[in-house]
Amino acid sequence: MFAFRINCTQGIGHFMRCKWLAYELKKSGHDICFLLDDNPKMGDLIATLSWPVFTLPELSEQQDAESVLSLLETFQQPYDIVVDSYSLGIAWEKVIKAAGQKLIVIDDLAREHVCDYLIDQKFVTDQDNRYKRKLPSHCQSLLGPQFALLGPDYQQQHIIKNGKKQNILFSLGGGGDWRLLTPLIKECVYQFEDQLNVRVVIGPQAKHFTELLEFAEQHKQIEIIRSPDSLFIYYQQAALFVGALGTSLYELLATKTASLTFAIAKNQQNEQQDLQQLGHFFHVVNFLELSGARQIQLITTLLTHRNRVEGLLHRAQCPVDGYGVSRVVQCITGSAVAPIKSSKLFKAQPLAREKITAELSYRAVVDEDMMLYLAARNMPTNANKMTITSAIECDEHINWWFENQRQSYIIYANEQPIVFIWHQIFNVQEQPFLIGGWFTTGKKVDFPVALMILKWQLALTMEMFPGARWIAVINKENKFVRLLNQYMGFTDVPQESASFKAIQCAFPQASPQSFHYIERDPDLQVK
């Protein structure tokens, strides 16, 4: 028998992932029982279960563990214990292990444990060290999204590749305060009235949703979904998911659903780099703090460019396939036919690069570079030299990224990206000018390297845009770039010239008092 000790007062994520694991174990012939904290709001979900459910009072960790052991003895059959609770930690586990029981822990907080199996579906880049010196030597750790405990719907053969997606889906998970999203939902109903419907999933522990229900009664475009057993079909029909990043993350990844997420709980905090390896690039930490207009603008951008957003999910380096429950059951029951390993980054085929020199190479920027581009641009050493010195907000960058007309490249020194460089045509009174710029991804670039990169860009643009005159601005504090551009034939622009007026149009934030205005003759050859 497998006995599940689940905390169901901190959201329904713990309950749901244990439910799917229990179903698979039961299908394999094992008896199941659930031991839950008292939470009357979980009644409808508990009623769907086909095994015994017991409710425990609030106790200390020591007392809780003793109560669990005492209760399970009444079954008079061998049992293993599965625990999924943020409030029950190593003190609770030591009592269970002292009684000689096999213990399986489900966790995603990288805590210390004394268990026999650890299941943590969270992906982090440094996965191998996540639980270093935190587990006993005999413990088998099942780490990463390949062990995500999802329902059977999420297995790949059930995914509809080209279904109709005509809804925006909002969710705060099993709980959440709906005052956070009600104003935005109302605005979406008005904004997308003739284009998309709005679906709202209200979980069993949700708060302050009366206003939302009243609004839904007056607008047929909005549909309220109360405590569904599964969100699978709703993900399948969603053009965009907007909501809290909890257990839903792995469901969204498995269904390749375009999503915009934020965190409302501690366990929903994730490193952006880790999420990007999974294909999720739109976790906007401060989304709930944005104005309504900015929230709508970001949603509109992601809807407009949904194909590119979904493309990022399909090209994920560490995809989720929905078979995590089967892998876990094989392991904890000893039925695995081969050793099960933790998730590793897929060795994605490197994007082709062209040589500049033996050490330098380049490639065009792709959507996967989006957040690296933002992080590099916002580095103080870069931002302080630009016409706009303040940091660019994440939502503003996403909007700009999908609409900008730049031709951008990333330069590598050997295998390391060192510089983003860009250029584009800027027309003033039907006369074409070239504008561009570059900034580093980290360490300072030496003068000879920067010179070689600039030579490459000038040669490239002369071939692509023959006859176009380069115009640029250089912060007067940036003596390095000033010297570099002088060496490459850029000269100061006379105030009465057409180039001066073009620069003022192209760089309105760059005043002549703080920036050099420069140009380069299109007929000047690259040295």
Can you tell me the mean pLDDT for 433-441? 96
Contact 443, 469 (CB under 8 A): no
Question: Across residues 458-474, what is the average pLDDT?
Answer: 95
Interatomic CA distance for residues 481 and 42, integer angstroms: 63
Judged by average pLDDT, the poorest of 130-134, 339-343, 460-464 is 339-343
Rounded Cα distance between 455 and 489, Å, is: 11
Question: Which is it for strands 238-244 and 431-440: parallel, antiparallel or unpaired?
Answer: unpaired
Whole-number pLDDT of residue 345: 47
Selected residue with higher pLDDT from 347 and 17: 17
d(CA 102, CA 216): 49
Residue 337 or 303, more confident: 303
Q: Cβ(182)–Cβ(202) under 8 Å? A: no
DSSP, residue by residue, 204-219: TT-BS-HHHHHHHHH-
Closest CA to 284 of 179, 188, 375, 394: 394
Residue 133 · residue 122 · CB < 8 Å: no
Contact 285, 270 (CB under 8 A): no
Q: What pLDDT digit, counting tens, does each position of 226-258 carry?
A: 988 889 999 999 999 999 988 789 999 999 999
Each residue's pLDDT tens digit, 97-134 = 999 999 999 999 999 999 999 999 998 888 889 999 99
- Specify whether the CB–CB gap between 260 and 310 falls below 8 A: no
pLDDT tens-digit map of 167-184: 999 999 888 999 999 999
Under 8 Å between Cβ of 256 and 314: yes
Q: What mean pLDDT value characterizes the chain? A: 92
pLDDT at 337 over 70: no
Task: Find, among 401, 448, 447, 405, the residue nearest to 423 by Cα.
Answer: 405
Query: Is residue 341's pLDDT more than 80?
Result: no
Share of the chain above pLDDT 70, in %: 95
Residue-wise pLDDT tens digits, 302-333 = 999 999 999 999 999 888 888 999 999 999 99
As a whole number of angstroms, the distance between CA 211 and CA 213 comes to 5
Domains with residue ranges and CATH for the chain = 2-151 (3.40.50.11190), 154-314 (3.40.50.2000), 354-520 (3.40.630.30)
pLDDT, position 273:
87
The residues near 346 (Cβ < 8 Å, ≥ 6 apart) are 317, 318, 319
Q: What percent of the chain has pLDDT over 90?
A: 81
Q: DSSP string of 96-130?
A: HHHTT--EEEE-SS------SEEEE----TTGGGT
Residue 389 has pLDDT above 60, yes or no: yes
Work out the end-to-end distance of the chain between its first and last CA atoms, rounded to an integer number of angstroms.
78
**In the structure encoding, which two tokens stand for residue 398, read together?**
């996403």
Residues 4-31 pLDDT 10s = 999 988 778 899 999 999 999 999 999 9
* AA letter at 250: Y
